[in-house]
Amino acid sequence: MKRIKKSLPPNNLTLFSQKYPRGNWKMFRNSHKRKNYKITKTLIFNDQGGLCAFCENLVNDVTKQQIEHFHSKKDLNPNHNWTLDWSNMIGVCPGGKDVNQNIHPLPANLSCDAYKDHLIVKNVLPIDCEDYLFNPLNLPAFPCLFDLDKRTGELKPKGNYDDVVLELENNYNTISELVEKTIEHLNLNCDRLNQQRLAVLKQYNQEVAKARKNGDKTVFTTLANRWFQQKWLPFFTTRRILLGNHAENYLLANNYDG
């Protein structure tokens, strides 16, 4: 999971919300022959560089791009319309529902909001589950809160957050615990995603080995430039972890904020 910086309104959704402050999701999706919805979904994924807000898979196929309400739109609070709240929306992938189940059986390989919804149905999580996982809109840009187990491809808390100042209201005592529970409640360490992160690690190891064989001492700087100059390559956080200080220095120098 990486920090997301949303574009500022106005946009099609916020204009619709101003006109219909108590409007629902069906009204918005069907407005102007679904044009508003399509434009909004495109804007959300453009803000995210095409990546799923949770697992960081690239979602190029528009039919698989989905809008997630981080705070459930089922909450019909008369004082706040979560359904049409621009700051409550992120873009996500199908969460494994579209994969070959003979290779990646479900629900073990569900992830992201698909797995979160699975836990809600099982009464493991409440409908309003903000206090149980990180919202990518609220992640700090620095430092990276995640680490990688290079043997398994699993994400884990980095563990040292002494320099992190976050105002958190959640059910956990430490940032490390919140990161751990975020990984758990989104099932980011399912086998399907672990294998994809290991593929990135394999590519990284091959490029480093080739560079060392050729006496190239700039490989880490080169990789940082190639991986982070665009918005963004899949598994941004995995790449960031692998490059360590080289990634942090590049991102700091280029004013990374999501």
pLDDT in tens, 204-246: 999 999 999 999 999 999 999 999 998 899 999 999 999 999 9
Q: What is this structure's pTM?
A: 0.94
Q: Angle 199-201-204 (CA atoms, 0-180°, nearest 5)?
A: 115
Write down the number of H helices and E strands in the chain: 8, 4
**In 10 A of CB 140, how many CB atoms?**
17
Kindly tell me the sign of the dihedral angle through the C-alpha atoms of 36, 40, 41, 43. positive
* Average pLDDT for the chain: 94
Q: Express each pLDDT in 114-156 by its tens digit.
A: 999 999 999 999 988 888 999 999 999 999 999 999 999 999 9
Model confidence at 170, pLDDT cuts 50, 70, 90, reads low
pLDDT at 165 over 80: no
At a CB cut-off of 8 Å and minimum separation 6, what does 241 contact? 144, 146, 147, 148, 247
* Position 9 confidence tier, pLDDT thresholds 50, 70, 90: very high
Cis peptide before 10 (omega within 30 of 0): yes
Instruction: Provide the residue ranges of all domains of the chain, joining segments of one domain with +.
Output: 12-253
Name which of 154, 235, 232 is nearest 251 in CA terms: 232
What is the average per-residue pLDDT within 76-104?
Answer: 94
pLDDT digits (tens, 9 = 90+) for 80-89: 999 999 999 9
